[in-house]
Structure 1
Amino acid sequence: MNLKKIHIGSLVKSKVDEHSMPVERIMKFFSCTEEEIGEMYSQESMDTLKLLRWSKLLSFDFFRIYTGHLVLYSPPTRKDKAVKVGNSKIEFRKSIYTEEVKNFVLNKIKTGKLTSGEVVARYRIPKTTLYKWMKKQ
């Protein structure tokens, strides 16, 4: 999966094919024609309500694909969001790495396209996190 350039219509189509979902069920769910479904498959971007409905129909969170893109390709955030406690600052981080992001990064290392050092530098993933992923693989 290419997380840099997302064509959501083709990703939806591949999930439909993966589930072998009948077109009649999709037409009934969306109250639309087969041509309109074909148009949705050809769209590079999609209305969020439609994408939410596709997510429900196919039991897959398509929004995570965009989250993965943000994690890998967004500019670095400012570090001034830390909470000050006494003389020190505490920064709370939540695990934001989805399975798609982990698989993407590990695949880059496995195929030799990037080294672990390059992954750490390019995507700002902590070394310890990356090494834990590699160890579990």
Structure 2
Amino acid sequence: MDLLLLNGPNLNRLGKREPDVYGHETLEDIESRIRALCMDHNIGLSCFQSNHEGALIDRIHQAADDGTYGIVFNPGAYTHTSIAIRDAVASVNLPVVEVHISNIHNRESFRQNSMLAPVCAGQISGLGTDGYLLGALALIRKMERE
């Protein structure tokens, strides 16, 4: 079984966009780190990033149909606004770990509410890009227990 690393809007700009908030690592750096972790556990990894809500929804649906075990998902700003992405996560029978590089609960009030958290297996926020590793590791451990 494979994992999906899914990233929403503006995350393609990591390393360039507000490095004081999001750090200097690029999305490709993060993908390489998660891929190495998955390889250590003989698990495949698919990566997808889009700035478009519908494309993210389509990829969530595809994951449910293609045998993906779970999703590590940084929905970016859609975290706070997208009922459609929330419904897509709720519609699939996959564990989804919501990840945020910054601590969304310690930022502007409009960033503090997650539409997705109630339908996700868990949420990791504020641990920088290590949150991705922790999310992937949580899913790997869950997979290995089943």
TM-score by length of 2: 0.28
Q: Which has the higher helix share?
A: 1
Larger Rg: 1
Q: Which has the higher strand share?
A: 2
Q: Which has the higher contact order (CA 8 A, sep 6+)?
A: 2
